[in-house]
């Protein structure tokens, strides 16, 4: 009988311990106080990208000297450039879905990595909704911002790539992309940057070559080799 009582006592203690562990781990005391109106709930400020802030902070502390920085959106982000140029210190600063304004807001990342060369690809996100003039003005602002934070870096402006016929409904039409590319080529000349025409390498009958894309916008793995072959001369010049 005594052994049974000891067993029951230990079992009760075990369940009580488990209950309090869950109670405090899930922060129930604070939840109860908030529910009762005794404590104000903490919320993140709307419109603030805390992940981006954390990334920028990490880069600032890293004190990393890169030979080359790739700056862009998801098309850049998905490129494994380091694997092609193993003798270079490369950092990929591509972020999926990023726009010209978004890239301008995080341009100080470039000052944190001290890159000697910056390869820029930007503009496809937002080109459908903005006018060409507005997009070109935003692109010029981005170039000026890059010049401000990385004045000694050599800047390479890469054209926007074509999209498939199906994706023209969701992105800019290829005719619009061509006009935009002509405008940013002029900006490259104006600001002493090197313009690299990638559009023609991926275009087939006016659209993105279906053999080179996974969804009409983004590139398949081996399609990056075309990009790599085109920029290799600039990587090593």
- Domains in the chain: boundaries: 2-35, 63-235
Can you read off the two tokens belonging to residue 19? 């209950």
Query: What CATH number has the domain spanning 63-235?
Result: 3.40.50.1110
E strands along the chain, which residues?
Answer: 68-72, 90-94, 117-120, 154-158, 194-196, 203-204, 207-208
Measured CA to CA, the distance from residue 95 to residue 102 in angstroms comes to 10
Q: What is the pTM of this model?
A: 0.77
The predicted structure's pLDDT at residue 175 = 96
Q: Quick count: other Cβ atoms within 10 Å of Cβ 209?
A: 16
Q: 157, 184 in Cβ contact below 8 A?
A: yes
Instruction: Give the model confidence (pLDDT) of 155-174 as tens digits.
Output: 999 999 999 999 998 889 99
Segments in the chain below pLDDT 50:
17-26, 28-29, 31-35, 37-39, 41-44, 50
Name the 3-class secondary structure at 203: strand
The predicted structure's pLDDT at residue 44 = 46
The predicted structure's pLDDT at residue 15 = 53
The predicted structure's pLDDT at residue 205 = 95
């Amino acid at each position: 009988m005594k052994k049974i009582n000891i067993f029951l006592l230990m079992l009760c203690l075990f369940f009580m311990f488990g209950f309090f562990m869950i109670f405090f781990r899930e922060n129930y005391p604070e939840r109860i106080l908030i529910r009762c109106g005794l404590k104000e709930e903490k919320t993140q400020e709307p419109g603030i990208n805390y992940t981006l802030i954390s990334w920028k902070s990490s880069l600032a502390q890293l004190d990393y000297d890169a030979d080359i920085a790739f700056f862009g959106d998801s098309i850049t982000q998905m490129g494994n450039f380091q694997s092609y140029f193993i003798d270079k210190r490369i950092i990929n600063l591509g972020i999926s879905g990023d726009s010209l304004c978004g890239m301008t807001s995080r341009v100080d990342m470039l000052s944190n990595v001290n890159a000697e060369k910056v390869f820029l690809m930007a503009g496809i996100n937002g080109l459908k909704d903005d006018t060409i003039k507005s997009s070109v003005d935003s692109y010029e602002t981005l170039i000026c911002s890059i010049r401000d934070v990385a004045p000694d870096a050599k800047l390479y402006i890469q054209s926007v790539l074509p999209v498939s016929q199906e994706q023209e409904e969701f992105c800019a039409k290829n005719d619009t992309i061509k006009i935009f590319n002509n405008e940013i080529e002029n900006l490259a000349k104006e600001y002493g940057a090197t313009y690299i025409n990638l559009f023609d390498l991926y275009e087939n009958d006016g659209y993105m070559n279906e053999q080179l894309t996974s969804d009409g916008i983004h590139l398949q793995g081996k399609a990056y080799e075309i990009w790599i072959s085109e920029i290799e001369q600039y990587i090593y010049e």
